[in-house]
Amino acid sequence: MTFDAARLTTELDTQLADADAALAAGFPGERAARQPVHTVYVPADRFDVDLVSRWGGEALAVLDEHGGDAATYAAVLGLAPSLADEVVARVRAKLASEPIEDLRIDFEDGFGNRSDEEEDAAVDASAAGLLKSVGDGGAAPFHGIRFKSFEAPTRARGVRTLARFVEAVAVGGRLPDGFVVTLPKVTSVDQVEAMVVACTRLEAGVGLEPGAIGFEIQVETPQSILGPDGTALVARMVHASAGRCTGLHYGTYDYSASCGIAAAYQSMEHPAADHAKAVMQVAAAGTGVRLSDGSTNILPVGDRERVHAGWALHARLVRRSLERGYYQGWDLHPAQLPSRYAATYAFYREGLPAAAERLRNYVGQVDSGVMDEPATARALADFVVRGLDCGAVDDAEVLELTGIDRGRMDALARRAR
């Protein structure tokens, strides 16, 4: 008697059809688009059309004043001496050409509570400035706003700012490329569901295509990590977003303060922060939702000693986040850009030779003594793609080291463009 495996498979296909569909819908995998290495938060009343280039100029000025030669700069930031010249050259080029990758015009904590007239005026001015910078080619490639939360005391003002800004920048039925909004201080799945409703109504009201508005969820309350029912609400929030959630951003100081951590010990590397970010990481895995670490409020400003100390701290924290799979973070001051890019570029340049060798061996099926699984090959390719996207490495050197062109590298990383 021969067992009918085909018949069993058909039965199992029927039994698992709903589960298969739910997996495909809820866990579509990594997004194809580039992820910025940081998000810069700027209070709305300090934003203008020239902000991006001005930050680049200010960052270069700090680097000129306090960086010293390449070897000194590398030593301050804890970089390998062999990387110094290449990293410094790339940082300078980045600050001159694209100093800010992602900009958030802030109407929340950075802006504070103002009169409706004052906030409305800031909305109108910053929306006009953003549109002009996009038209002039001077905007950050990714940009948007953070508005006040959907908690009862700030809900009306948050909705008013969100609607007014989106209406102002929705030109010809389209939002600017790279536009996203940030929903802060989320405490319940209901608020995410409410955000979906708000986006749907707003799209219809201003003539946008359904689904045009994407949003990030800011994880800065304990309730988003552990709900009253004992579940990780952040995972449910991702799936309650109807596919609109593009990112989970950790809020260092609100989260720490809400957990009762004394101000002196509030940090991106506190154990409470690591726990929250580990939960976020698992919640986002496979969904296409990106992760962003928070910020440090210790800024590299003042005399050379203080600038160097601030750079060293920031570079160490950036590297720490990268090693833990958090490829994005917050920056709050132009003087943080030299340490952000130096630490990021060093991370990818240090790792490129080994990643390239393993990829070359994997693709060529070379018996190298390391048996990489397809999932590891994807991770290796993703590492290389991220380095290419931010300018840490170039197409030509990757091709030389791996024998793999950009299109195939994207495909290996499952980021077909």
**Is 200 part of a structural domain of the chain?**
yes
**Is 205 part of a structural domain of the chain?**
yes
Long-range contacts of 162-165 (CB under 8 A, 24+ apart): 162/198, 162/202, 163/202, 163/205, 164/120, 164/123, 164/124, 164/127, 165/123, 165/126, 165/127
Q: How many domains does the chain have?
A: 1
**Is 366 part of a structural domain of the chain?**
no
Question: Which tokens is 78 given?
Answer: 């804890």
Predicted confidence pLDDT, tens digits, the chain (417 residues)? 689 999 999 999 999 999 999 999 999 988 888 999 999 999 999 999 999 999 999 999 999 999 999 999 999 999 999 999 999 999 999 999 999 999 999 999 999 999 999 999 999 999 999 999 999 999 999 999 999 999 999 999 999 999 999 999 999 999 999 999 999 999 999 999 999 999 999 999 999 999 999 999 999 999 999 999 999 999 999 999 999 999 999 999 999 999 999 999 999 999 999 999 999 999 999 999 999 999 999 999 999 999 999 999 999 999 999 999 999 999 999 999 999 999 999 999 999 999 999 999 888 877 666 666 888 889 999 999 999 999 999 999 999 999 999 999 999 997 644
Residue-level pLDDT at 414: 79
Residue-level pLDDT at 30: 87
Residue-level pLDDT at 1: 66
Cα torsion angle, 283, 287, 289, 295, sign: positive
**Is 411 part of a structural domain of the chain?**
no
Residue-level pLDDT at 366: 72
Which pTM value belongs to this model? 0.94
Domain containing residue 183: CATH number? 3.20.20.60
* Phi, psi angles (nearest 5°) of residue 106: -100, 120
**Is 369 part of a structural domain of the chain?**
no
* Phi, psi angles (nearest 5°) of residue 80: -65, 135
CA angle centred on 212, ends 162 and 388, rounded to 5°: 105
Q: For residues 8 and 278, what is the distance between their CA atoms, to the nearest angstrom?
A: 39
- Alpha carbon of 15 to those of 6, 9, 12, 91, 344: distances in Å? 14, 10, 5, 55, 47
* CB 3 within 8 Å of CB 11: no
Q: Give me the domain span that covers residue 241.
A: 38-345
**Is 416 part of a structural domain of the chain?**
no
Cα torsion angle, 125, 127, 130, 132, sign: negative
Question: In sequence order, what are the residues at sequence separation of 6 or more whose Cβ sits closer than 8 angstroms to the Cβ of residue 136?
Answer: 49
Residue-level pLDDT at 7: 95
**Is 337 part of a structural domain of the chain?**
yes
How many residues are there in the chain?
A: 417
Nearest residue to 255 (alpha-carbon basis) of 282, 230, 275, 233:
275
What is residue 28's three-state secondary structure? coil
Long-range contacts of 69-73 (CB under 8 A, 24+ apart): 73/338, 73/342
What single letter denotes the amino acid at residue 363?
Answer: V
What is residue 123's three-state secondary structure? helix
Name the β-bridge partners of 330: 39
Q: For residues 2 and 199, what is the distance between their CA atoms, to the nearest angstrom?
A: 57
Name the β-bridge partners of 215: 181, 245
* CB 251 within 8 Å of CB 218: yes
Q: For residues 34 and 285, what is the distance between their CA atoms, to the nearest angstrom?
A: 17
**Is 255 part of a structural domain of the chain?**
yes
